[in-house]
A and B are shown apart, each in its own frame.
Chain A
Amino acid sequence: MRIHYYLEVDKENKIKCLKCGRVICSASENYKKHVPRAEVWPSELPGQHPAKEDALVLYYEYYCPGCFTLLDVEISERGAPPLWDIQPKF
């Protein structure tokens, strides 16, 4: 079952990358705790964004550990744990 643009839950109830097939974690867990994440300040991107010294929130980028596709850009307070945004029930 698909749960995300790049993620699905396979027959063994594992969350898997649709692009590279990498198994990330059990479907009962927050996948974001099992993938690399990186801190990015909004001002690192082109366009009008808050300046680094002013920014109250930043971006956490989450990548597939297999193909390093960008899975999510979470706007968050610095140091906040990964948001459990997808919690399918089986």
Chain B
Amino acid sequence: MAENKFPSWGDNAGRDIGGGRIPSLNEIKQYEKLDPVEFDILSHRLYSIINEGRQAVMRVSGSPVVAEGGEALFAAYDAYGSTASLACGLLLHVIGTEGFMREILELQWDAPGVFDGDIFMYNEPLIGGIHACDQWTGTPLFHEGELIGWLGSLTHTAETGAIEPGGMPPSSRSLLHEGYRVQGIKIVEKGKLNKAALNGVLRSTRDPSYYTLDLRARIAGLNVAKQRIKQLIARYGVKKIKAVMQQDMDHSEELARAKLKSLSDGTWRAVNYGDWDIGPGPKLWKVMLTATKEGDQLTLDFTGSSEANEGPVNCMIWGTWGSIFVAIASQLFWEIPGNAGMVRPLKLIAPEGSLTNVRFLTPCVMCPPLPGRHISNVVTTIIAKMLYTNEKYWGDINAPWCTMSWMGSFWGGTTQHGYVSAGMFGDGWARGTGAGIDEGRGDGCDTGALQMTIESCIPDVEMNELMYPFLYLWRREEVDTAAPGRWRGGASVSLAVVPHNTPSVTIAFRGTGKYAEEGQSLDGAYPPSLGRSGPAAIVRLKNLKEEMAKGVKPNNIEDFKDYIITKGGRFRYVNPFEASQRVTENDVILSLNAGGGGTGDPLDREPDRVLVDVQRHIFSLEMAKEVFGVIIDAQLEAVDEKATKLKRENIIARRKEKGKVWDGD
């Protein structure tokens, strides 16, 4: 459905939709402005309500992805589906979910109609929601026969009945390989569960129990928020509630335009690479962004990005919008209430057929991390550069912070509890964030967050071990993952897990970093690395289960090597993408994540800070010496100032020797 055709009945006409009437689009936009105090109260009340809805979702769901990781979105929309208020959680989806309500209104208004108590479900990336794992349920808000808005809830459900378990199959070659896609069915009709519709999903997945938990969690969240909205209407009257939704969006738009206007006009460019499509060998692809800021508008042009990949590393247009929103909401407009008004000053150009705007049925299930993270990276980069032009915002400048990951992420099989399940390791949410440019923000936050799920938490190891048929050998902040710079990025985690008490389990890998680096830094800092435990691998250790029962616990890459020499085994280094493969209780799955980007020349970092970094195992002695030019004694107690001065002079001399002005056209 083309965006510009909505609503097909025109901006000046309302219509009967079954359970009541939707006013005309122009009618809902003409509202009586609330006075500043009342606006503040009602705006925050609405925000509290949707956050309470999100909390209900997280507390009811038993999925580690939702309950532990916080991959849940909750939003209130106006009658036409524009996002009026957004609960911080999955930033990726604010824009994408609006299409669901628009299609419901276009397709279902007369048959079967839209009624109070209906709950619709979607997970169609063509319409919104990024990829099939992201499952939205929404319910209309009626008041005295008038549609006044919607509530929506979205979770990442980690099993979709795709051609591989775990929801995100690396071997997908078509959208049709990526699991069930629900197209706005009423999962609840006028307050009653539609069991036949529910079975349509339950019988399409390997793990109906997780699906049911997540669905019931979303319904619980909607019920909680709907009740609160009713109470709000009873207290303040419906007119003010409708007004606050519009005023929220207009207010955010006004703030966003004012901020853009306060920055200098110009054009900024950034590029970010990936290294794998369908194999068997590597393939270089890129996301290219040219951003032009003029007055109070920002145009984001992805012309020059690679053509669509054959495999699932692609975004449909809503995935690209969502990935842009991740950066815009967290970096540029972080202080502005999140809603549809925030994106009104933005214009997106994403060539159709490129990996930023693939055609229908093109696979796209990897979109959020790949290339969605690349899209967020380039937008974060250009935002940082734009913010330099106004001193007021220097404290907000951030290097990119959602960088490389190369993980055995997706598993499927029989759990230790005896049932078939599938899931995703969410440990990579604990990624290092990007550095700032001054003492105020300074270094990135170690294992801080994933930019797209900004309120994410790292799942508890014990919870994962309880729910998944795996034991952890380790999960820890990994040395040398932080990007080295004047201000360093945050460090990220590596992890090693081994199947446990399962007759059969598979693992699939996805990532970048074997052939091309995705991580970015700013203004002279080096890109982050994947640490010192790599490359990602499946390490077979002979009789591991028996040895572990005796107390043996390999704790690092050197231990693996010693184990293989003394007891037997082998390393098998994996490609960035590998389809689901059977692993045994003798197989250690080694996963890596790079840290956040840094800012500025590493030679400008004070030696004493580097010493602390080494003492804290953020950086190795080698990194301190070769990149920072800081010489530290073997006991890690002091900087050798004289040797450091000499080393730094040597690095500068090497730069003078190697550096040549580009002589091309």
Contacts and interface: CB of A to CB of B under 8 A. Distances in A.
A48 B529 contact: yes
Nearest to B288: A83
Interface in A14-40: 32-39
B660 A36 contact: yes
A37 B660 CA distance: 5
Interface in A36-68: 36-39, 42, 45-50, 54-57, 59, 61, 63, 65, 68
Given A47-B529, A81-B664, A5 B524 contact: yes
Contact of B516 (A50, A84, A89): A50
Question: How large, as a class, is the contact surface on chain B?
Answer: 35 or more
A69 to B, nearest CB: 5
Contacts of B385: 3-4, 85-86
Contact of B655 (A56, A59, A63, A88): A63
Interface of A: 1-6, 32-39, 42, 45-50, 54-57, 59, 61, 63, 65, 68-73, 75-77, 81-89
B269 A85 contact: yes
B268 A85 contact: yes
Contacts of A89: 264-267, 294
A59 B626 CA distance: 16
B662 A88 contact: no
Given A69-B601, A88-B266, 8 more contacts: A3-B385, A3-B388, A4-B388, A37-B659, A45-B626, A47-B480, A48-B592, A56-B284
Given A50-B513, A83-B269, A88-B264, A73 B526 contact: yes
B513 A48 contact: yes
A83 to B, nearest CB: 6
Contacts of A63: 655-656, 659
Contact of B535 (A48, A57, A76): A48
B516 A35 contact: no
Contacts of B534: 48
A5 B523 CA distance: 6
Contact of A48 (B266, B531, B652): B531
Nearest to A57: B516
Contacts of A36: 655-656, 658-661
Nearest to A36: B659
B275 interface: yes
Nearest to A39: B658
B600 interface: yes
A68 B388 contact: no
Contacts of B313: none
Contacts of A34: 661
